[in-house]
Amino acid sequence: KKRKSSKVEMGNNNPANKVPTKVILSVVSYGVAVSGYLGTKFGTWNWFSFHPALMMLSFFSLTGAAALIKKRGGYTNTKLHGYLMALATVAAGFAFYVIYSNKIMLQKDHFTSWHSWWGLTALLAYLLLFVVGLFGLHPDFGAAKTNKLIRASHKYAARLATVIAWISMILAFNKLDDDPTHQLAFATPLVASAFIVLV
């Protein structure tokens, strides 16, 4: 009798389903470019600049790359997906600290816009998904790594969290840049990326 492998298969390893590296790099590059634009939007880099820049890197570049790498399937890609999502969560957490402390310094009220509430919801969702992913679905020691229901729930909840995050980013960009041409130029790649990252 053949012995069954004890290694859990994480994702689809079908070569036809692998995402080209250039697609992943395109997503990352777009996020980095917009991050730089937002960070220097008002001429000089300041404490507030870290907020839009890091949120863009977190919610788009890192999250997008993590989702696309996970689509490649396999043990190594699953772990890399987790590392990138952990980094994205840390970056978003620091960006939240920046905007929260900045409002305190300026003596402004917190959570007064739809952007802030969408962003907070996305951040909390990512934190919860990180905990579930680390302790429940880690391919080495996850307590529920073979549970199909939890894996599917994690997958679709992450997609919902990303949609919420991207809505927050669009609202934020529109607030920082009121030029309709710039707003369209920002939103169009996000919508196009949704069909690659989220579907």
pLDDT digits (tens, 9 = 90+) for 150-170: 999 999 999 999 999 999 999
pTM to 2 decimal places = 0.90
Question: What is the average per-residue pLDDT within 110-124?
Answer: 96
Q: 31 pLDDT exceeds 60?
A: yes
pLDDT at 2: 43
Q: What's the mean per-residue pLDDT of the chain?
A: 92
Question: Does the pLDDT value for residue 179 go beyond 90?
Answer: yes
- Other C-beta atoms closer than 10 Å to the C-beta of 190 total 20
Confidence of residue 4 (pLDDT cuts 50, 70, 90): very low
Q: What is the per-residue pLDDT for 14?
A: 52
The predicted-structure confidence for 53-93, as pLDDT tens digits, reads as follows 999 999 999 999 999 999 999 999 999 999 999 999 999 99
